[in-house]
């Protein structure tokens, strides 16, 4: 066993030779919040109607045993996962995860009181919170349209839901002293070729004008709008496309949410950050892993994940890019999904913080592209793993494969017996 001190000594020497301060890199990663999606724990079911079907063109596949079936189980599972993930964390809630104590609350009537127990819980667990209005898995979204619905009654219902979500998110921020991001994603779209795209987009535009008609305090709530390319059963036209939301975010001064699974397969979100940020105040990320489509696989430590973290660091965008995870895999242990994906996000932040950005950017400015490429390649075999181990230890989180043994134990003791 190599001691952490020894690992740090080696890493400090290796990175130090490039002018990189390992301890400062750890601090930077540690101060960047990562928002973890509550919906990985229960296959996006929520507690509103536990037997309800997941709709809206998204899907969690797999029947791995142990899905959290209620609020208590979800919290318990997340508390466990949380202990395996280093860094500064938030939990992202969807409206369907409300705590209504058994009562049925219509979505247009959700209010802070239905999330008060989450705030208490978040405080006790030193977590921030984010929010998401839920525009799917509901009878009034069954015809495929919510905020762009031509039925005025249905549209108004969803507009009210959207307004309430902003109040709840602001309440999170105020209570916890950490800004809450409130993310709007609607599934609205057509399976087959429409002949009046414009009409639906006009209605969606009008709905956002109504939802954003009142102010919330930016210190507590930041609204975000999420675009998408297509969903299952919504292959021909998504009303809230990328161009639509780029304009919407600009018009209303909102964050644009970039989900890594919501673009054509050869497009990358890493390239979009510095483009979007020329015109918008900020970005919310939904870090996911699309495999051939928007499949929402568990995030791995791949080139694009590193590139996203590097673009944030290289551009000096730590305050303007709000990192959230968005994947849901029901085919393997769900607590391991949380741990693997969130640990990888943390790894990427640390990896990016260890880059000698100033030196590389200088080479580029001098047009020495040969050296730029040579350094970028050699950096890949630096002793990054040693810094990662030290980072985990700093947060009293298991290193190496130890975390997996803990998940297996929890599985045997707690989740395996769930029906
Ligand atoms: C769907 C969007 C959306 C959802 C979550 C559950 O394609 O990515 O963000 O995944 O809100
Ligand atoms: Zn998303």
For the stretch 42-85, pLDDT in tens is 999 999 986 778 999 999 999 999 999 999 999 999 999 999 99
Helix (H) or strand (E) segment spanning residue 220: none
Q: Dump pLDDT digits (tens) for 77-91.
A: 999 999 999 999 999
User: How many whole angstroms from 286 Cα to the centroid of ligand 2?
Assistant: 5
Residue among 224, 242, 259 to mutate when testing ligand 1 (max atoms within 8 A of CB): 259
Given 94, 174, 254, 262, the catalytic residue: 262
**Arithmetic mean of pLDDT, 335-353:** 98
Tokens representing 331?
A: 């085919």
Indicate whether 419 pLDDT > 80.
Answer: no
Q: Is 202 a catalytic residue?
A: no
- The values of phi and psi at residue 181, to 5°, are -95, 135
Q: Dump pLDDT digits (tens) for 287-303.
A: 999 999 999 999 999 99
Does residue 229 have its Cβ closer than 6 Å to ligand 1?
no
Indicate whether 400 pLDDT > 90.
Answer: no
Q: What is the chain's mean pLDDT, rounded?
A: 97
3-state secondary structure of 36: strand
CATH number belonging to domain 32-351: 3.20.20.150
Contacts 24+ apart (CB under 8 A), 19-27: 19/356, 19/358, 19/359, 20/354, 20/355, 20/356, 22/354, 22/387, 24/353, 25/350, 25/353, 25/354, 25/387, 26/350, 26/353, 26/387, 26/390, 26/391, 26/394
Q: What is residue 127's predicted lDDT score, i.e. its pLDDT?
A: 98
Reported confidence tier of residue 226, pLDDT bands at 50, 70, 90: very high
Does residue 39 have its Cβ closer than 6 Å to ligand 1?
yes
Comparing 15 with 1, which gets the higher pLDDT?
15
Residue among 39, 326, 327, 329 to mutate when testing ligand 1 (max atoms within 8 A of CB): 326
Helix (H) or strand (E) segment spanning residue 190: strand 189-190
Given 48, 188, 296, 304, the catalytic residue: 296
DSSP state of 177: T
Indicate whether 374 pLDDT > 80.
Answer: yes
Q: Specify the residue with its C-alpha closest to ligand 1, atom 2.
A: 185
User: How many whole angstroms from 66 Cα to the centroid of ligand 2?
Assistant: 24
Reported confidence tier of residue 196, pLDDT bands at 50, 70, 90: very high
pTM: 0.98
Q: Is 223 a catalytic residue?
A: no
Does residue 15 have its Cβ closer than 6 Å to ligand 1?
no
Given 45, 138, 161, 286, the catalytic residue: 286
Does residue 115 have its Cβ closer than 6 Å to ligand 1?
no
Domain boundaries, the chain: 32-351
Q: Is 242 a catalytic residue?
A: no
**Arithmetic mean of pLDDT, 21-38:** 98
**Arithmetic mean of pLDDT, 158-163:** 99
Q: What is residue 50's predicted lDDT score, i.e. its pLDDT?
A: 65
Q: What is the C-alpha separation between 258 and 40, in angstroms, rounded? A: 19
Helix (H) and strand (E) counts in the chain:
14, 10
**Arithmetic mean of pLDDT, 29-45:** 98
Q: What is residue 260's predicted lDDT score, i.e. its pLDDT?
A: 98
Q: Which ligand lies nearest the alpha carbon of 93?
A: 1
User: How many whole angstroms from 238 Cα to the centroid of ligand 2?
Assistant: 14
**Arithmetic mean of pLDDT, 185-201:** 98
Q: Is 51 a catalytic residue?
A: no
Reported confidence tier of residue 102, pLDDT bands at 50, 70, 90: confident
Q: Is 218 a catalytic residue?
A: no
3-state secondary structure of 104: coil
Q: What is residue 330's predicted lDDT score, i.e. its pLDDT?
A: 98
């Amino acid at each position: 066993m190599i001691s952490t001190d020894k690992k740090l000594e080696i890493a400090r020497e290796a990175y130090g030779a490039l002018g990189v301060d390992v301890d400062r890199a750890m601090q930077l990663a540690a101060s960047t919040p990562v928002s973890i999606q509550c919906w990985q724990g229960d296959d996006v079911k929520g507690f509103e109607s536990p037997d309800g079907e997941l709709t809206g063109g998204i899907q969690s596949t797999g029947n791995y045993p142990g899905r959290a079936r209620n609020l208590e189980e979800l919290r318990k599972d997340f508390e466990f996962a949380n202990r395996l993930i280093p860094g500064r964390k938030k939990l992202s809630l969807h409206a369907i995860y409300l705590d209504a104590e058994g009562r049925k609350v219509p979505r247009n009537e959700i209010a802070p009181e239905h999330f008060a127990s989450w705030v208490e819980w978040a405080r006790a667990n030193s977590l921030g919170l984010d929010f998401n209005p839920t525009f799917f898995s509901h009878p009034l979204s069954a015809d495929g349209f919510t905020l762009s619905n031509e039925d005025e009654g249905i549209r108004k219902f969803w507009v009210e839901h959207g307004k309430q979500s902003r109040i709840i998110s602001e309440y999170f921020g105020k209570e916890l002293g950490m800004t809450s991001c409130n993310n709007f994603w609607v599934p609205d779209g057509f399976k087959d070729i429409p002949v009046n795209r414009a009409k639906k987009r006009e209605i969606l535009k009008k709905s956002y004008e109504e939802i954003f008609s009142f102010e919330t305090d930016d210190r507590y709530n930041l609204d975000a709008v999420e675009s998408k390319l297509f969903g299952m059963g919504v292959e021909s036209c998504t009303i809230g496309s990328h161009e639509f939301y780029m304009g919407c975010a600009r018009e209303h001064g909102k964050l644009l949410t970039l989900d890594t699974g919501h673009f054509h397969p050869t497009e990358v979100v890493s390239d979009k950050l510095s483009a979007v940020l020329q015109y918008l105040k900020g970005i919310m990320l939904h870090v996911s892993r699309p495999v051939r489509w928007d499949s929402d696989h568990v995030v791995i430590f791949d080139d694009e994940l590193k590139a996203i973290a590097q673009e944030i660091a290289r551009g000096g965008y730590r305050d303007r890019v709000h990192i959230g995870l968005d994947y849901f895999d029901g085919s393997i242990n769900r607590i391991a999904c949380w741990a693997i994906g969130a640990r990888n996000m943390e790894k990427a932040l640390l990896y990016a913080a260890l880059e000698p950005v100033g030196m590389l950017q200088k080479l580029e400015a001098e047009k020495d592209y040969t050296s730029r490429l040579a350094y970028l390649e050699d950096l890949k075999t630096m002793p990054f793993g040693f810094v990662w181990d030290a980072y985990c230890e700093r947060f009293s989180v298991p290193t190496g494969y130890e975390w997996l043994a803990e998940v297996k134990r929890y599985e045997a003791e707690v989740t395996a017996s769930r029906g």
